[in-house]
Amino acid sequence: MSKISHRVVIAVFPDVDLLDVTGPAEVFALANRESGGRARYQVRLAGPGRAGEAVATSAGVRLLTDIGFADVGDAVDTLLVPGAVEVRTDGPLPRIDRHVVDWIKDTAPHARRIASVCVGAHLLAAAGLLDGKAATTHWSTADRLAADHPRVAVDPDPIFIRSGRVWTGAGISACLDLALALVAEDHGEDLALAVARHLVVYLKRQGGQSQFSVPISRPPASRRDIDELRLYVADHLTEDLSAAALAARMCLSERHFARVFTQETGTTPAAYVEALRVEAARRLLETTDQSLEEIARTTGLRSVETLHRAFRRQIATSPAAYRRRFRTTTTTTTA
């Protein structure tokens, strides 16, 4: 490979989450391959010991470091910080290693950008890099991050957030979304799309999207026919999905169907359908220039007025305001 353009240094330390490390590394490697070597990412694993030392991850797989913390120097394009947790009865506890935090604090000023994956945000916060910034982390530790670091504007919902030169990602598979966004920033959407296709992942879940989609945010129903109906609804948003139509499809009376559906899903049929349609509309607002009329029609909301009402109920904003905020991945917060 020719001259290195992007030296990516990924911190590794005992019990680090394996995918937090290998996911972004694979994205950058594929960016090199899909661009014919023009992307020129060089990934180096840096650990607290000497180069070549083994570090045990949370999965039990051992990683060999390329370089020790002390030898990283100041030639860093992207500093990527994954996380590690201690599983306790009261929930996961992010591990804060002071040696790692001190190294991050010393290395960050030399990096063009800094990114955390999952609970790695807790390490960035401990190093003072998130003060005054918007940030996200794994949903299970977001409350702790906010409590421990009140100067950080923690948002537990997005997949990733960019705040100046600092990026924070949710957990754990969101590391792919974050890394793809970094590639897109460096080399454009076409290369990021080529990498996403190779990985067989969706490009791209925008940073403003929720860590959970409507179908997976609700547990499976105990009735298989209800789960099958939920899949049907997701695939037929433009059709008649009224309670009466769905009840007829289930061969139940409308009253009995509404009672069963609410019991199984925790929400009414109408609210569930509306949430799916709003989610589809959000994706179109984030990724296309379709008019509000087109979006309302293609998501089954039918009219701009209905689209507005649904957005107000579901996410307390208007479609236009949502598009202005999430059409790109950059937040308004500055470095």
Catalytic residues: 118
Give CA–CA dist 82/19, Å, rounded. Answer: 9
Please answer whether residues 309 and 277 qualify as being in contact, where contact means their C-beta atoms are separated by less than 8 angstroms: no
CA-to-CA dists, residue 321 to 135, 215, 331, angstroms: 20, 25, 14
Give CA–CA dist 95/15, Å, rounded. Answer: 9
Give CA–CA dist 334/282, Å, rounded. Answer: 25
3-state helix, strand, coil in the chain (%, to 5): 45, 15, 35
Give CA–CA dist 112/100, Å, rounded. Answer: 19
The torsion angles phi and psi of 45, rounded to 5 degrees, stand at -90, 125
Give CA–CA dist 157/257, Å, rounded. Answer: 31
Q: With the CA atoms of 153, 155, 158 and 163 taken in that order, what torsion angle do they form, in degrees rounded to the nearest 10?
A: 0
CA-to-CA dists, residue 71 to 10, 31, 106, 208, angstroms: 13, 26, 12, 36
**Alpha-helix residue ranges (DSSP H) falling in 149-203:** 174-187, 189-199
The full DSSP string for 283-312 is HHHHH----HHHHHHHTT--SHHHHHHHHH
